[in-house]
Amino acid sequence: MKKSLFLFLFLICGLGSVHAQLKEGYIKMEITEVGSDNEQMAMQLEMLKGSQTEIYFSKAKTLTKMNMMGGMMETTSLYSMDDGKTDILMNMMGKKIHIETTDAEVEKMKETGGDMMKDIDIKYDESDKKSILGYECTKATFSGANLQGSEVIMYITKEIEGSVKGMQMIGSLEFEGFPLMVTIDNPQMSMTFEAVDLQKELSSDVFDINTGGYQKMSMKEFQEQMGQMGASFGF
């Protein structure tokens, strides 16, 4: 379950890097459906239901806030389009970590550690559409050996133009538009994340983040620490 869950989490973190037709805006996404034939796993997944990700975007920056399991895990990611810099703040049950990285560093990591999104096949089904928050979305199915048995299905709208340049955690996956629904499905579990709110205005201070009290480390140091804890984040 760990690999599938963290694949899902970083897919969602990556969705925050948006350059939309809207000059600025806010999208709230929520885990709306979970499921598993394994009773124990189903109970664990049920704890995630209702977890939210808030995405604030402008032409220059994107801020993504994720709240999981009633606040037990909180992640804030600030991405700057101008310099390719990302600040990630993670609060895992009181353990606060500040990760600072750049596009160049991530590209170097992919060269040495592999790109889990390499050779992913994307199939669009123009006959399968959904209206989500008033936006027409088209089904796109992602498959490939690197997804480790998972199938990722997104409903993507071209009415909000998206760039996944900031999807640093999962490699070089690219597609047109912005996903308003994401489902990960594999033999162990299924999970759906859907947009539930969209606003077109932002406050002037929305991209200000407070790093006080967070332990600063590089992405490499973070990877090593997570490896020692036995967690696999897929990057």
Per-residue pLDDT at 204: 83
| Average pLDDT for the chain | 78
For residue 64, which of 75, 80, 72, 51 has the smallest C-alpha distance? 75
- Paired strand residues for 192: 33, 183
Residue 167, pLDDT above cutoff 50: no
For residues 90 and 100, give the distance between their C-alpha atoms in angstroms, rounded to a whole number: 11
**Would you place residue 13 in the very low, low, confident or very high pLDDT band (cuts 50, 70, 90)?**
low
- Compute how many other C-beta atoms are within 10 angstroms of the C-beta atom of residue 82: 8
> Is residue 132 pLDDT above 90, yes or no?
yes
Residue 153 token pair: 């299905």
Q: 160-192 burial, b for 16+ CB within 10 Å, e for fewer?
A: bebbbbbbbbbbebebebbbbbbbbbbebbbbb
Give the CATH architecture of domain 2-227. Answer: Clam (2.50)
pLDDT 10s digits, 15-71: 544 444 556 788 898 999 999 998 988 888 888 888 888 888 888 888 888 887 666
Tokens of 117: 């999104």
More confident residue, 132 or 62: 132
Cα dihedral 175, 177, 182, 183 in deg (nearest 10) = -50
Q: Kindly tell me if the per-residue pLDDT of 180 is higher than 80.
A: yes
pLDDT at 234 over 50: no
Is the pTM value of this prediction over 0.75? Answer: yes
